[in-house]
Chain A
Amino acid sequence: MNHLENEYKKRFINQDQNIDGFDESDLWESIAQDLDAMPVQKERKPISWWIILAIISVGFFFVYLGINEQNEEQYSKEEMIASKPLETKNKKYSGQIQNDPQGDFKEKGINQSIPAENSVPKSFDINEEAIPVVEYKVTDQGIPSHDLNPLKVIQDRKEAILNKENKEMLRQNISSDNEPDFISNNSLKEWANKETEKTDEQNLQRNNLLQVETLPLKPIIKITQNKNKFGNIEELNLNLQDKNSRPLTVGVTFGSNWNSIDFFSKEWSEVADLKSNLEKGRVGFNYGLNLTMDVRRNSFFGIGFDINNLTTKFEYTQERSIPIVRENQLLKVWINTNSGDTLKTLYGDTTVYGEYRRHVLHYNQYTFWTIPISYGFKRSFERWSTGVSFGVEINMLKQQKWRSIDENDEFIHFNGSSESKPYSSINIGFRISIPLAYQMNERWAIKILPTVSWKNLGYNSTNVFRASLFQYSVNGGIGFTL
């Protein structure tokens, strides 16, 4: 710049010069008139409020989806897929033996043969190597004790389970000679007795879990449904105005999280793997309040209090057998082959062994109170800023309602009031966040905070299983600089 240009600059820059002949008397009046004539401008809603509204809407949408999905899906179903005879007792005979001068029709007991001259043997086509399965028609009215028709014999258990409709129904007139082998089969009885003892214990446990109607059976029994949701939160201050920064920022955030829970056990590693596979992470929700402070120009310290409500989906199909007692069932019929008259009938209580398949679908709920403590670094680009923060978190497990399996492959449950908590009440975790912020003005900022955290849930009350939780969350919110 030469001296000529310097002279111009010196004389004119930032100079308020008096100008001769400039009449400003009515200038303000004209300006005021123009301003009065201006239409009142609608206060423009800044785009940031639309963003906040969008975040809230998305949050409610996920809450709605989650609750709706749980209402529709959560159930515990128990169905009998087949039953087989177990034992017979309390036998009673009825009817009179006629035309029996030789006493050939003298009752000799259920396991004894009866002379066949005047009786019609009706043989069963039974494969003795297979365990026969007797299936009853299960109706709401139960099984009439005098009705022969419901009784049928199925050789193939798989067929009984998978293809009930196509099974052949056998009508039968029973004589003592062709009494079904499985009724008097000692080995089968022994097996059945063992199963009865085992299943009695299982029944006690089962009754604590869900109400199973004895008879008539109902195919599906619904368990109480769970509703939940809300969860962890994190907040980070990004003060974009370094020159006039106020280092303390209060933030409110909320968001969604996705979870993955894993179980570990030295002694029961297979069951731990099974538990990990059965319990799948679902969408959870977070909300919280946080305080951050600028430590240096590009670093900050943060602490907060978050409520983290997460959900996992537990789904397991378990097969079990339980005994079912049928009272006053028709066991034998003696028929005079000459006259066709019924000579004698035998009634008794029969215990059948029911094969049950139990399908449990349950949304497990966990609520954490979390205190995140983090330190991070940030970088600003005009109004935008981003960074990374690392920290620890103290987690307090406040509420839990869940179902799972124990090391014996038995269903266990916890409703929040039981003494045997599955996880430690207080535990430690770690977290990494990559915050993104937009500074709307001097004090307000919008923030989006993707976070990955790992929570050590500790050992269960029996010290068999240890659990840990990976959580991926995306939180949005606003920050106010004090």
Chain B
Amino acid sequence: LKEAIDKELIKSCLAQDRSAQKKVYTLLLPYLRTVAMRYLRDVSYIKDVLQESFVKVFVHLEQFDQEKAPLRNWAARITINSCLNYNKRIIGIPMETFEPDFHDAGTEPEVLKTLSNEDLLNHLKEMPEGYFEVFNLNIIDGFKHDEIAKMLGISADLSRQRLSRARLWLKQNIIKVNKSEIETKEF
């Protein structure tokens, strides 16, 4: 993908060449779609989010600096921001409180292997909103807490706190789900 989106293609996009823009869209769509799926609490908005994200990418393409990062990463960041905005402003899911159980039950590696990608993603989205976003941004996409703080409009310390709680939540709930599935099978 990195090689496919070359400078000439970007220049054509800047010249508002629709065929070039469609080519870029085709190349970026699978990844941005995955990103959106990970971040959106309600996936029914995914087309709206992707549409908004692609429009932003093409409108602001002149600000993209190829020396700093590949277009794929730049577009992913735009998509993440769009998702966060959707989660916050449009969907308006209230922040759930979560008091973690500080007894670390531990998670068996074997348990994880039994879960599909979709299951893992669904479990992620069951997290309270703040934890889910911080977990996604930090653990999977590698954003630093300072960056996350800017993106979410929170402090870096709160971002660290939420990540800590997200980790605990995940451990407890993955095992809980897995155990319940086993118990169900026994019946």
B54 to chain A, nearest CB (A): 5
Query: In whole angstroms, how far apart are the Cα atoms of A3 and B110 in the complex?
Result: 11
Q: In the complex the two chains form, is B50's CB within 8 Å of A35's CB? A: no
A22→B174 CA distance, assembly (Å):
26
A34: chain B residues at CB < 8 Å are 51, 55
Pairwise interchain contact B107-A19, C-beta atoms closer than 8 A: no
Q: How far is the CB of A83 from chain B (nearest CB, A)?
A: 80
Q: Residue-by-residue, is B22-59 near A (CB-CB < 8 Å gives 1, otherwise 0)? A: 10010001110110011000000011001100110011
A8 to B59, Cβ gap below 8 A?
Answer: no
Are B120's CB and A14's CB within 8 A?
no
CA distance in complex: A16, B34 (Å):
6
Asked whether A4 lies within 8 Å of B51 as measured between CB atoms, the reply is no
The answer to whether B117 touches A17, judged by C-beta atoms less than 8 angstroms apart, is yes
Given known contacts A4-B112, A4-B171, A17-B117, is B124 in contact with A22 (CB within 8 Å)? no
Q: Mark B123-153, 1 if CB is under 8 A from A, else 0.
A: 0100000000001000111100000000000
**A11 in contact with B120 (CB, 8 Å):** yes
In the assembled complex, the CB of A329 is this many whole angstroms from the nearest CB of chain B, namely 89
Chain B binder among A25-33, A341-349, A412-420: A25-33
State whether A5 and B38 are in contact (beta carbons under 8 Å apart), knowing that A13-B141, A16-B31, A27-B50 are contacts in the complex: no
Asked if A35 contacts B171 (CB within 8 A), the reply is no
User: B117 near A11 (CB under 8 angstroms)?
Assistant: yes
**Residues on A with beta carbons closer than 8 Å to the beta carbon of B142:** 13
* Distance between A376 CB and nearest chain B CB, rounded to angstroms: 24
Q: Are B33 and A19 in contact (CB under 8 A)?
A: yes
**Most B-side CB within 10 Å, residue of A4, A16, A38:** A4
Q: Given A8-B124, A22-B46, A241-B67, is A14 in contact with B139 using a C-beta cutoff of 8 Å? A: no
Known: A11-B120, A35-B21, A35-B58. A27 touches B51 (CB 8 A): yes
Task: Select A27's contact among B30, B47, B117, B135, beta carbons within 8 Å.
Answer: B47
The verdict on A12 contacting chain B, using a C-beta distance below 8 Å, is yes
A19 touches B51 (CB 8 A): no
* Interface residue A244 (Cβ < 8 Å from any Cβ of B): yes
Distance between Cα atoms of A19 and B32 in the complex (Å) = 12
CA distance A35 to B34 in the complex (A): 23
B33 contacts A28, CB within 8 Å? no
Say yes or no: is B10 at the interface (Cβ < 8 Å to chain A): no
**Could you tell me if A17 and B34 are in contact, using CB atoms closer than 8 angstroms?**
yes
Chain B residue nearest to A41 (CB atoms) is: B59
The CA of A17 and the CA of B33, in the complex, are separated in Å by 8
Tell me, yes or no, whether B92 is within 8 Å of chain A by CB: no
Q: Are A8 and B67 in contact (CB under 8 A)?
A: no
Is B84 interfacial (CB-CB < 8 Å)? no
Residue numbers in B under 8 Å from A14 (CB-CB)? 31
- Assuming the contacts A27-B50, A38-B59, asked whether A17 and B140 have C-beta atoms less than 8 A apart, the reply is no
What's the tally of chain B residues with a CB closer than 8 Å to chain A? 37
Chain A residues within an 8 Å CB radius of B139? 1, 5, 8-9
Q: Is the interface of B mostly helix, strand, loop or mixed?
A: helix
Task: Tell me the minimal C-beta distance from A117 to chain B in angstroms.
Answer: 115
Interface residue? A165 (CB, 8 A) = no
Q: Which chain A residue lies CB-closest to B73?
A: A14
A233 to B167, CA, bound (A): 63
Write out the residue numbers on chain A whose beta carbons fall within 8 Å of the beta carbon of B94. none
Q: Are A12 and B38 in contact (CB under 8 A)?
A: yes
Chain A: interface size category: 20 to 34
Contact yes or no, B29 A24, CB < 8 A = yes
> Which residue among B18, B139, B167 has the maximum number of chain A CB atoms within 10 Å of its CB?
B139
Pair A3/B37 contact, Cβ less than 8 Å: no
Q: Is A7 an interface residue (CB 8 A)?
A: yes
With both beta carbons as reference points, the residue of chain A lying nearest to B34 in the complex is identified as A17
**Which of A3, A5, A31, A32 neighbours the largest number of chain B CB atoms within 10 Å of its CB?**
A31
Determine whether A211 belongs to the interface, using a CB cutoff of 8 Å to chain B.
no
**Could you tell me if B174 and A4 are in contact, using CB atoms closer than 8 angstroms?**
yes
- Chain B: minimal CB distance from A157 (Å): 80
User: Would you call B67 and A442 a contact (CB within 8 A)?
Assistant: yes
Q: Given that A3-B107, A8-B120, A241-B67 are contacting pairs, would A35 and B37 also be in contact in the complex, using a CB cutoff of 8 Å?
A: no
A257: shortest Cβ distance to chain B, in Å? 36
Known: A3-B112, A32-B18. A12 touches B29 (CB 8 A): no
Residue numbers in B under 8 Å from A241 (CB-CB): 67
**Shortest Cβ distance from A21 into B: residue:** B43
- How far, in angstroms, from A169 to B139 measured CA to CA in the complex? 108
When the two chains form their complex, are residues B141 and A4 in contact, meaning their CB atoms are under 8 A apart? no
Least distance between A100 CB and chain B CB atoms (Å): 115
Q: Are B37 and A8 in contact (CB under 8 A)?
A: no
In the complex, A141 has a CB within 8 A of chain B: no
B33/A22 in contact, CB under 8 A: yes
Asked if residues B55 and A31 are in contact (CB atoms below 8 Å), the reply is: yes
Is the Cβ of A244 less than 8 Å from the Cβ of B55? no
Of the residues A27, A35, A243, contact of B59 by C-beta under 8 Å: A35
Chain B residue contacts of A244, Cβ below 8 A: 67
Please give, as numbers and ranges, the residues of chain B lying within 8 Å of A2 by CB-CB distance: 107, 167
Tell whether, in the assembled complex, residue B25 and residue A28 are in contact, meaning their CB atoms are under 8 Å apart. yes
* CB nearest to A26 among chain B residues: B47
Once the chains are docked, how many angstroms separate the CA of A18 from the CA of B174?
A: 23
8 Å CB interface, B49-102 against A: 50-51, 54-55, 58-59, 67
> Distance in Å from the Cβ of A278 to the closest Cβ of chain B?
56
Which of B55, B170, B171 has its CB near the most chain A CB atoms (within 10 A)? B55
Q: Are B140 and A8 in contact (CB under 8 A)?
A: yes
User: What is the chain B residue whose CB lies nearest that of A244?
Assistant: B67
The answer for the CA separation of A442 and B68 in the assembled complex, in Å, is: 12
Q: B49 → chain A, closest Cβ, in Å?
A: 11
Sample 10 A-B pairs with CB under 8 A, ordered by A number.
Answer: A4-B167, A4-B174, A8-B140, A9-B139, A9-B140, A16-B33, A17-B30, A32-B22, A35-B16, A35-B58
Enumerate the 6 nearest inter-chain pairs by beta-carbon distance, A residue then B residue, closest first.
A16-B30, A34-B55, A31-B54, A17-B34, A7-B112, A5-B139
9 extra A-B contacts, CB within 8 A, seeds A3-B112, A27-B47? A2-B107, A5-B170, A7-B112, A8-B139, A12-B38, A12-B140, A24-B29, A24-B47, A28-B25
